[in-house]
Amino acid sequence: MSLIKCPECGRDVSDKAATCPNCGHPINQTNENLVQIDSAPQKRKKYRVRLLIFTPIFFIGLILSMIWGFSAMTGGEGRMFGFWLLVAGIGFIGMVVSAIGSWLSRP
């Protein structure tokens, strides 16, 4: 417990007191006005940014793996098929994780 000055009359008052015993001025109003800030919007924003990053990766990987896959079926070289399929898989997993994280961080 410590003593603080009353902003109204200047007398020493306990910091635990609700009002000044001399003049009745409220002392600890700041504790009643505290507002808890919700961090959920920040978390959702983080997951939305991740979703915006992984969605194009998924579609680019999917399209290019299809191109190289059809190229291999028609007798061309399809050696990049596996790489682009892996890129599409990573993009898909990132999209799913981001969407679930955004959904779970809702209030």
Query: Assign residue 76 a region: left if phi > 0, alpha if psi is -120 to 50, beta otherwise?
Result: beta
Residue 34 has pLDDT above 70, yes or no: no
Residue 32 has pLDDT above 70, yes or no: no
The pair of three-digit structure tokens given for residue 36, joined into one six-digit string: 């808890």
- Write out pLDDT tens, residues 54-88: 889 999 988 888 887 877 777 766 677 888 888 99
CA atoms within 13 A on the CB side of 16: 2
CB 81 within 8 A of CB 70: no
- Domain ranges in the chain are 1-34, 40-104
Side chain identity at residue 71, one-letter code: S
Q: H or E stretch including 5?
A: strand 3-5
